[in-house]
Amino acid sequence: MKTIILFGLVLGALSAADKVYITDVGGKVTLQCGVSSFKHMVEWNRDDTRIIRVQRNGLSSKGETPFKDRTKSLKDTDIEISKIQESDSGKFTCVADGSRNEHLLIVVSVSVVPSGTLKVGADATLECKTNPGVSGQHKPNVKWQKPDGSVETKPKVELKHVASSDKGTWTCLVSHQGETFNKSVTINVEEHVETTTPPTIVENSKSSNLGNGENSTGGVRGFGHPIMLLGLVWWIWVAIGAGGLVVIILIIVIIVVHKRNRRKKKKFLRMKKAQLSQKPKKYCQCVRQTAAAKPRQGRRREKPSALPLQPLLQK
């Protein structure tokens, strides 16, 4: 009987063993309850504060936690927390129909000070913070892997007098109870650039070959050393300036011609309108049909025709 009781206690302890989740600031994590389904209700808590409660009928309610607006339920029993912050770390408990499972969330924060490109000889600090959020909890194992593959067995690395060999990818390695996590940062190191002295242009005050055109009197530079301006020979700048001037002139000409054409067009339209207003207006003369003769009404008496004139009797 005692053996059976001990065996049950061991099984209960194994079922309630912590599962570790490791993530970085700004990421998201999915916490699995440990059971795939439930009959009545599943509830998530952190440090005895309710996060969310989901009932079998689908109704859910959230508690007053700092990350309640960033938490959502997944697959009935799992939850997802997004936009992780350092304060989100801690111990989470899932209770489903009386079955209790505890989990540990560790939040990792990686920083490099100063940020940006480092200069050779400067100082820098790399730090990999791990916050388990539980007092008395064993701290996670943190290491730094250098760009050359060697390892620094501490969460904080101080670089004194940064060298070119420090340039590259540094990886923070975190492990706790069998779970591992890594976060990489890239360090850029700006090396000193040695500037070379440009060749000096010699001015000849006297010339032994006045007739060959190579050198002339004082103040004239030799053809073997052309004048440089901002890394280009002087005649290249002259060509660029001449090209720019031609482009500006073309733009001005196009604008002037365009305005001139618009004025001519407006003038032509005004003249055409004036000519149309001076022409006499033509009206439409409609040809009407003559009215038909009215029919005679009733019977009219005809006038007797006049008697023919009789010739006068002559005596």
Domain residue ranges in the chain: 19-107, 109-190
Q: Residue 12 contacts by C-beta under 8 Å, 6 or more apart in sequence?
A: none
Cβ contact 122:152 at 8 Å:
no
pLDDT at residue 84 is higher than 90: yes
Q: Tens digits of per-residue pLDDT, 266-295? A: 888 888 888 777 766 665 555 555 555 555
Q: Can you give the pLDDT at residue 181?
A: 93
State pLDDT tens for residues 27-72. Answer: 999 998 888 788 888 899 988 889 888 888 878 888 888 888 899 8
Task: Tell the CATH superfamily of the 109-190 domain.
Answer: Immunoglobulins (2.60.40.10)
pLDDT number for residue 133: 74
How deeply is 129 buried, as exposed, middle or buried, from its count of CB atoms within 10 A (0-12, 13-18, 19+)?
Answer: middle
**Span of 11-15, 19-23, 48-52, 124-128 with lowest mean pLDDT:** 11-15
Say yes or no: do domains 19-107 and 109-190 share a fold. yes
CB crowding 269-292: b at 16 or more within 10 Å, else e: eeeeeeeeeeeeeeeeeeeeeeee
Of the listed ranges 138-152, 165-179, 254-268, 287-301, the one predicted with least confidence: 287-301
CATH top-level class of 19-107: mainly beta
* Token pair listed for 170: 């540094």
